Structures are given as C-alpha cells and as structure tokens.
Amino acid sequence: MSVIYILLGVSVIVALVFFIAFIFAVKNGQYDDSYTPSVRMLFEDELVSEKPKKTILTKKE
C-alpha cells in the first residue's frame, strides 16, 4: 500500500517539473511564431461571397 503513496508523490513531482518547464518555455518565447507573419501575404485570402442584388418585384395584374 505504501508503494501507491510513493508513486503518487513521484508522479506529482514529475508533473510539477513538466509544468514549470512549460511555463519557462512560454515566458522565453519558445512558442512564438515568427515565420507565419512574414509569409501570410502569400496565402490566398478567404473568398468573399457577393451579396445578391436586390430586385424589385411588382404585382402582376
């Protein structure tokens, strides 16, 4: 039963180490994307659908 407590403690410590490493990497700009903004103008723009022209309907008598 004591092995479960040891494994639980070790897993919490490992999780904290990975969390601290993640926070450290984010603060140092590891995940900043500096490539995409420079090539964004080369990508196709989204297609804008044209609005249908309004027509005036008249009554047929």
Q: Looking at residue 29, what DSSP letter applies? A: T
**C-alpha–C-alpha distance, residues 42 and 52, integer Å:** 29
For 2-16, b/e burial (b = at least 16 CB within 10 A) is eeeeeeeeeeeeeee
pLDDT tens per residue, range 8-59: 999 999 999 999 999 999 999 888 887 877 787 787 766 666 666 666 666 6
Task: Give Cβ neighbours of residue 31 (< 8 Å, ≥ 6 apart).
Answer: 25
Residue 61's pLDDT is: 56
**C-alpha–C-alpha distance, residues 27 and 23, integer Å:** 6
pTM of the model: 0.54
pLDDT tens per residue, range 4-13: 999 999 999 9
Q: Which residue has the higher pLDDT, 60 or 26?
A: 26
